[in-house]
Every structure is written in C-alpha cells, then in structure tokens.
Amino acid sequence: FYPKRTSKGKSMSLLQNLMELIPLLIWFILCGIGGFWLVCALFHLKPHEELMVGVAVGLSASTFLVNILGRFFPLPNACWLSAGLIFISGMLLMGAEHKHDLKQLIIFPYQPVMWIAFLGVTLLFWGMASGLSIMDEFQTLPLISQLAAGDLPLHFPLDPKVIYNYHYFPYLFSAQLMRLGNLFPWTALDIQQALFASLS
C-alpha cells in the first residue's frame, strides 16, 4: 500500500529539487562574473564577446583550480574555493584597471539574441544527449562518481595503487555539477556535454 501523492506533495517535491540547484546556480554566477572580469582585464575583445568568453574562461579556470585544490580539500570545498578565487582575482584585476570608475564592475554588455541562441542550442544538445550515456556506463560514469567522491588524482578502479593518467577534464567538470547540484552522474554528464558543445 502506497499513499496517494497529492498535487501539494508534487509541488513540494519540485520545490525541493529546485532548491537543491541554488548552490549550483550561485557557483555558475561566481565563476561567470569572475571569468568575465578576468577577460575584460586581460584581453581586448569586442564588448558583446566578453561575457560569453568570460563564462567559458571562468568555468574552465574553476575546473583547473579544482584539480589542484581537490588534492588538499574535500571536493565541494574545492569547488567553492576555486569559484571564490576566480571571483576575487577578477574583481581585483578589473578594479585595478578601472579604479577611477568602479561602475565598470557592474556593467555587463550582452546581446539578448546571442544568449537566447546559446540557451536554445544548449537545450537542443541536452535533449539529444539525454539517455545516450548508455555506452559510458562502464567507463565514464564510474570515473565521474570517483571524482565526485574526491578521488584526485584519479586512481584506476581495478587497482587503486595505479594513478589513472586519463584526460578527465570534462568528467571533473561533471563531478562538480554532480556535487554542487546533487545530480546523478548521467545527468551531470548530459549537461556537461550539452554545455561544452554549445560553447564550442
């Protein structure tokens, strides 16, 4: 016997799921804004390109930092520390460049059409990739789970004494999504593949 699920129960469950995504959203914002400030301070791009490139730089830099910090801290702490470092270093560099006009820190030039296209392409790739990680069951999904558990540097699953020299950048990114958003490894992998494809 199972109690009937009411519409109130369904809405509470949906609300709880959305609340679990808030840390992931905050992490994205910290990495994105920090990356944007770094790009503005270090590169000379067209204004409408800076925000998109900044988001990509922020997320990539975060993954590189997590690969280092994850050897000394638990993975969630390493994720937050890397996002904080990117945000603070971007703010300091941008602040030093525009110290006489700090309003530049809160100006984010963007083109709505470009971002709508980016979100549309991301959703398209996500829809295409969803459920297609069947071929990754025995190789990729265990790697993501190991990385999400904090196994840095990555060890070979069948012999923990062996360091697994595998190109795990995208899987470490998926592990961050998994831990911060409380996602399943296959969902994190689908999102990572869609995001990387659309940014490319």
Instruction: Give the model confidence (pLDDT) of 146-189 as tens digits.
Output: 889 888 888 887 788 888 777 888 899 999 999 998 888 888 88
Question: Which residue, chain included where needed, has tokens 């990539």?
Answer: 60
Q: What is the pTM of this model?
A: 0.82
Q: In this model, does residue 7 exceed pLDDT 60?
A: no
Ranges 113-117, 122-126, 156-160, 175-179: which has the least confidence: 156-160
Q: In this model, does residue 9 exceed pLDDT 70?
A: no
